[in-house]
Structure 1
Amino acid sequence: MPAARRAPMRAAASTFDTPAAPVSAAPAPWPGPGPAPRPTQRPGRWRARPPSRPAAWLPTLALTLALAAPVGADDLAALPEPQIKAAYILNFTRYASWPAAAFADPRAPLVLCLLGQGTADIGRELHSRSAGAHPLELRSLARGEDAAACHALYISAAEKPRQAALLARLRDQAVLTIGDSAGFLNDGGMINLMLVDGSIRFEVNLNATKQSGLGLNPRVLGLAERVVGGGAK
């Protein structure tokens, strides 16, 4: 995973909640407390995430996995990396939209595929979860297996030597691709998890999502560390 500075793993202060709307529904209301993020960047430039919110509501992201007990900021910093990544992946599926033809009916399962070393732990965190009205159907892919039947695909960093070829095959298909390595966006991936000052954050390739006919809620783009394509906020 690309890293600006190595430090203890924690979730980023910028976060999501858990909307109840179906995946293909219109964008949900702004999930965080207080006003929605305001535009902060000129046209044609990278988009930076909004300033970090107070630590008092830092745990919201981790709570998307229904933790049994209240979690403070110090506890959140100690959460296992797979749990934090699973929370991000879950929210990406909840804030993305697919063409209507991608689902047989409004409550059909959303097929989330996992590829690469370390994904079993992430899959366990996502067991019995749902993206709006769509229950998650988890599939573990073998190397070289076709991913066209997936609605979303997480590719671990261990697959970096092979990810460019895989992403090229999915370029025009409605598959939300989520990665975990340097160069993922350059290879055609849509969302890349990254380490910034010890926090897991993410960057978005909006050009890739549009090419595949997918959409991302503008609130997701507002929380991204940077967004490639799409003009100004």
Structure 2
Amino acid sequence: MLAVLACQLAALAGVAVRAEQAMPEQQVKAAYILNFTRYASWPAPALADPHAPLVVCMVGAGAADMARQLQKRAAGSHPLEPRIVSRMEETDPCHAVYLALPERSRQSAWLTRMREQAILTIGDSASFLADGGMINMLLVDGSIRFEVNLTAAKHSGVGLNPRMLALAERVVGGDAK
């Protein structure tokens, strides 16, 4: 199963340029988010039931489009349950949160609130990892790539598959290999 997921993420990373030409950016980002959830693991208290929905919350620009892309998808045996949220308090049931916030102060506040929780945090701003986010999507030579803050992931209890880390542009707080 891990080999299949590794191939999916590798294929996604390798064809990002072609995918972006054929699909809007929000669809490509939604595909990455789907694969990030497939490569993450949560501690038992956060996701104890092997068939429980995995709640993916979206905040900010493009949230509705991305949520639509994630409907009827699954991460392993967990059906994804995409939600659009607008307040920090709404992240309590979330297993993953995508933040597309234009103001760094708001982004930092959201990440600080989630820091002690087993929530996979995903964003797309230059300061995302520095503010304590786990996975940051960035545009490199016309394609979407990602970087990882392994320290933030370990601190929250969320595990990230080493195969995903090997595909990252950059891993801070740990070794990608």
Name the TM-score, length of structure 1 as normaliser.
0.68
How many pairs align? Answer: 173
Tell me the equivalent position of 2:36.
92
Structure 1 residue 74 displacement after superposition: 4.7
Amino acid at match of 2:59: L
Q: How does 1:28-177 map to 2 (within 5 A)?
A: 28-29=2-3, 31-32=6-7, 60-61=11-12, 74=18, 77-158=21-102, 160-177=104-121
Q: Secondary structure at the match of 1:192?
A: strand
Structure 1 residue 144 displacement after superposition: 3.8
CA RMSD in angstroms, aligned pairs only: 2.2
1:223 to 150, 167, 170: 167
Higher helix proportion = 2
Q: Distance in 2 between matches of 1:163 and 1:112?
A: 17
Tell me if the contact between 1:112 and 1:138 (Cα under 8 Å) persists in the aligned partners. Answer: yes
Percent identity reads 62
Q: Select the structure of larger CA radius of gyration.
A: 1
Higher strand proportion = 2
Q: Which consecutive residues of structure 1, in runs of 5 or more, have no partner in the other structure?
A: 1-18, 20-27, 34-57, 63-70
Q: Distance in 2 between matches of 1:120 and 1:154?
A: 12
Q: Secondary structure at the match of 1:61?
A: helix
| 2:102 counterpart of 1:190 | no
Structure 1 residue 159 displacement after superposition: 5.1
| 2:148 counterpart of 1:204 | yes
Amino acid at match of 1:176: L
Q: Deviations over 1:204-230 (max 9, x none)?
A: 000000000111000110000000012
Q: Distance in 2 between matches of 1:77 and 1:167?
A: 32
Amino acid at match of 1:81: E
Q: Which runs of 4+ in 1 moved over 6 A?
A: none
Structure 1 residue 156 displacement after superposition: 0.8
Larger relative CO (CA 8 A, sep 6+): 1 or 2? 1
Structure 1 residue 158 displacement after superposition: 2.9
Structure 1 residue 79 displacement after superposition: 1.5
Q: Which consecutive residues of structure 2, in runs of 5 or more, have no partner in the other structure?
A: none
Tell me the equivalent position of 1:53.
none
Structure 1 residue 110 displacement after superposition: 0.4
In 2 relative to 1, CA 169–75 (structure 1 residues): closer, same or farther, beyond 3 Å? Answer: closer
In 2 relative to 1, CA 32–166 (structure 1 residues): closer, same or farther, beyond 3 Å? Answer: same
